[in-house]
């Protein structure tokens, strides 16, 4: 390196690093491989308490271990009662990893549910968009942050039992492995691959308006159309998604959330929700957009999320 370049690097490196952290480096090949593996027939639709659910869980544990993401709980697994009719379907298992930041006092939980509908009448419901897409995206974000640690600690949560009523996320917030007051935000991903109109939605800025400037800045730089909404109890022409996925469990105990997802599509909860129907480029663009939001949130967490009154 020429001497002046070295000098410039030394002069500006601290300034740059004192500003925003870099965006998480998403491994696009790993993202696609994880997405197709999780939505393959061999996962048998990943229903809670089934062999397919156990395969998906084992896959997540393997991938987190390989990426160097630490277990938040022994073996990464948190068992809970999933409320099913028989013993096996009651056995819900969340998979929980953590990447420690320089500041461990405030923690962001990045989540996706990995369960889906299983096999019905001999047909496998692969749930590619719902929610192999969010699951593979959270894996990619976890791997990126394990390689390049964030400012604030991040928990990467893969919830089970969502399809039957968000049992996994509720168990997590009711019995959190760390003191709940340290969890200051939830970023939840559910159905983030089917950007049929190149549009991704972000809900949460109406109940938690301090997220709005971050979402606006993210939208301005995003390779997809990022649209805020779906979080009003009064009609605004959009359905209210506040209670429709795992972020609802965080919202219920006063933890601010941002939920990323797409509008319902004809394959939603149908046997046709397959990886073949996903445009890889748009899916990657959605995950990069979410990663960019996460970096902004991590960079400005103290300024953005106010101190909460703790229940």
Distance of closest approach, residue 260 Cβ to Zn ion, in angstroms: 12
**Which residue number, 210 or 268, has a Cβ lying nearer to Zn ion?**
268
Distance of closest approach, residue 146 Cβ to Zn ion, in angstroms: 25
Distance of closest approach, residue 202 Cβ to Zn ion, in angstroms: 16
- Of 94, 93, 111, 115, which Cα lies nearest the Cα of 45? 115
User: Sign (positive/negative) of CA torsion 34, 35, 38, 44?
Assistant: negative
Distance of closest approach, residue 113 Cβ to Zn ion, in angstroms: 6
**Which residue number, 153 or 169, has a Cβ lying nearer to Zn ion?**
169
Distance of closest approach, residue 177 Cβ to Zn ion, in angstroms: 23
Q: What angle do CA 36, 100, 182 make, to 5 degrees?
A: 105
**Which residue number, 130 or 298, has a Cβ lying nearer to Zn ion?**
130
**Which residue number, 17 or 243, has a Cβ lying nearer to Zn ion?**
243
Binding residues vs Zn ion (CB under 5 A): 130-131, 190
**Which residue number, 59 or 145, has a Cβ lying nearer to Zn ion?**
59
**Which residue number, 50 or 153, has a Cβ lying nearer to Zn ion?**
50
Whole-number Å distance between alpha carbons of 23 and 100? 17
b/e map 17-35, b = 16+ CB within 10 Å:
eeeebebbebbeebbbebb
Whole-number Å distance between alpha carbons of 261 and 134? 9
Distance of closest approach, residue 10 Cβ to Zn ion, in angstroms: 48
């Amino acid at each position: 390196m020429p001497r002046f370049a070295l000098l410039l690097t030394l002069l500006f490196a601290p300034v740059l690093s004192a500003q925003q952290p870099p965006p998480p480096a998403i491994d696009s090949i790993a993202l696609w491989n994880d997405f197709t593996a999780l939505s393959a027939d061999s996962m048998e639709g990943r229903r809670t308490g089934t062999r397919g659910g156990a395969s998906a869980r084992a896959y997540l544990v393997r991938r987190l271990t390989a990426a160097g993401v630490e277990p938040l709980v022994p073996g990464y697994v948190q068992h809970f009662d999933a409320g099913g009719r028989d013993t096996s379907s009651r056995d819900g298992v969340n998979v929980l990893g953590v990447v420690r930041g320089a500041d461990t006092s405030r923690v962001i939980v990045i989540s996706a549910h990995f369960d889906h509908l299983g096999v019905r009448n001999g047909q496998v419901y692969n749930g590619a968009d719902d929610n192999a897409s969010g699951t593979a995206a959270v894996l990619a974000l976890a791997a990126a942050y394990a390689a390049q640690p964030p400012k604030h600690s991040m928990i990467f949560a893969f919830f089970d039992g969502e399809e039957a009523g968000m049992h996994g996320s509720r168990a997590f917030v009711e019995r959190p492995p760390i003191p709940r007051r340290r969890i200051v935000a939830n970023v939840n991903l559910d159905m983030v691959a089917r950007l049929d109109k190149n549009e991704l939605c972000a809900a949460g800025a109406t109940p938690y308006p301090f997220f709005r400037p971050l979402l606006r800045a993210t939208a301005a730089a995003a390779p997809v159309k990022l649209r805020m909404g779906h979080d009003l109890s009064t009609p605004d022409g959009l359905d209210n998604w506040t209670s429709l996925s795992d972020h609802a469990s965080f919202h219920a105990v006063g933890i601010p959330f941002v939920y990323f997802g797409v509008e319902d599509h004809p394959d939603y909860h149908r046997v046709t929700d397959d990886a073949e129907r996903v445009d890889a480029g748009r899916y990657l663009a959605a995950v990069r957009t979410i990663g960019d939001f996460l970096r902004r949130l991590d960079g400005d967490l103290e300024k953005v999320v106010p101190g909460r009154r703790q229940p």
